[in-house]
Amino acid sequence: MPGYTKRLGRELSDLKTNPAVVMDDNPLYAGKTFRLQFRFTPTYPIEAPEVQFIASLGRGIPMHPHIYSNGHICLDVLGSGWSPIQTVGSVSMSIQSMLAGNDRNGFPQRTERPPDDARYIASAPISPKQTRFVYHDDNV
Amino acid sequence: MQPAELHKEAGNALFSHEDYDGAIREYTKAIIQDASNPAYFTNRALCRLRLHRYDEALADCQKALELTSDSMKAHFYKGQALLALDRPNEALRSCKLAYELSLKQKSPSASSIAQTVLNAKKRRWEIMEQRRVEKEGHLLFEMKDILHTNYEMKTKKAEQDPDATEQERIETREILEYEYLEKVAQLEQTFERSDEKYRKRDVPDYLIDPISFNIFYDPVVSKSGQSFERSVILEHLKNHKFDPFTREYLTESELRPNLSLKAACEQFLEENGWAVDY
């Protein structure tokens, strides 16, 4: 499929002039830096990119009930909710809002991993796109 | 199988291994056996395109079109050859015909044909722009010419330097080329600053396909009122039957051409051919 590399080039230059940043003062993640990895297949943007958190020195995997400890993210826009008008910027915004909206008031379990974390990472595919996530709890 | 078909199969196999010379020999044998099959000519034309032998590619396309006037490939390869030969107006005609045929045949080539149409428009604009610049900026033109002559002189001199090793020659050539391009860019920038007209502008978002980020060539509108490049939204609808904006159920038959948007893009490109690469 020709022609789509140009789109990535433009997305990159748009991001440089206009970084996708959500103002957030959620104390759960304040002052922390996380690293997201995007992988694009030749069918991008018809198909979703493969997106996950990557742990490295000084950068962990954010604690969140929709983020597995191997960095895989359970978020509908990365799977069945993908639409080709989404961009790297809009996906980054969605993930930031997901973190910003993690309100643990009265829900102590919300600083934790998903309930099936141990089971999932034991058998998780390398690519998060091969997982069919069930998008259970929309309140986080 | 017919002997001609056997040669064609052999040619296809060589083609897939990027042995274009070998493939041309096989297709030629096929043509000698049977000169009435346009596919032998279009296949050979594609090999010649890959080898940058555009005149020969063009001749093959002509022959294929004499045999059948509605060969999408023949029109498309002809358009590519003409564009490479710097005949953008003729290229545009051929590619437009190829585009119509590709839609009729639901060919996956539609989007690359659309892109070639845009490239031909860009080239046509470039030629006109060059004429304009020539008229309005004789000075810039002359200066560029001087830079080029100077660069060629220096390169020649460096090539003939008896003391330099081959490696040094290559490096000097690269440095000279870099310096030359840098100077041309600087010169253009200086002239751009002095003349508002030379300055690139932005392409308005409404002329850009929201999926491929290209300027529209053949926009269609969905029932939500959003426009998409036809070949791109068809690619999406192949596996996903929904409107990318509203996620409402959407099928190909619900798309309508957006003629006024198409006209707006055409007019914009007439004046701003660079927008093809935007």
| ipTM of the complex model | 0.76
Does B99 or A18 have the greater pLDDT score? B99
Confidence of residue B220 (pLDDT cuts 50, 70, 90): very high
- pLDDT given at position A1: 42
In B, which residues are within 8 Å of A90 by CB distance?
Answer: none
- Does the annotation count A135 as an active-site position? no
DSSP states along chain B: --HHHHHHHHHHHHHHTT-HHHHHHHHHHHHHH-TT-HHHHHHHHHHHHHTT-HHHHHHHHHHHHHH-TT-HHHHHHHHHHHHHTT-HHHHHHHHHHHHHHHHHTT-TTHHHHHHHHHHHHHHHHHHHHHHHHHHHTHHHHHHHHHHHHHHHHHHHHHHT-TT--HHHHHHHHHHHHHHHHHHHHHHHHHHHHH-GGGS--PPPGGGB-TTT-SBPSSEEE-TTS-EEEHHHHHHHHHH--B-TTT--B--GGG-EE-HHHHHHHHHHHHH-GGGGG-
Q: Answer yes or no: is pLDDT of B277 > 80.
A: no
Rounded Cα distance between B78 and B74, Å, is 6
Percent of chain B with pLDDT over 70: 96
CB contact under 8 A, A45 and B211: yes
Q: Report chain B's mean pLDDT, rounded to a whole number.
A: 90
Fold of B205-277: Herpes Virus-1 (3.30.40)
> Structure pTM?
0.67
CATH superfamily assigned to domain B3-121: Tetratricopeptide repeat domain (1.25.40.10)
Which residues does chain B have within 8 Å of residue A46's beta carbon, measured at their own beta carbons?
211, 235-236, 239-240
- Structural domain spans, chain B: 3-121, 137-198, 205-277
Q: Give the nearest partner residue to B244 out of A6, A7, A85, using CB atoms.
A: A85
Q: Which domains does chain A have, with CATH numbers?
A: 4-123 (3.10.110.10)
pLDDT of B191 > 60? The answer is: yes
Mean pLDDT across the stretch B40-66?
Answer: 96
Low-confidence ranges of chain A (pLDDT < 70): 1-3, 23-24, 104-111, 134-140
Between residues B237 and A17, which one has the greater pLDDT? B237
* pLDDT (0 to 100) of residue B270: 84
A 114-133 residues with CB below 8 A of B?
none
Judging contacts by C-beta atoms under 8 Å, the chain A residues touching residue B240 are 46
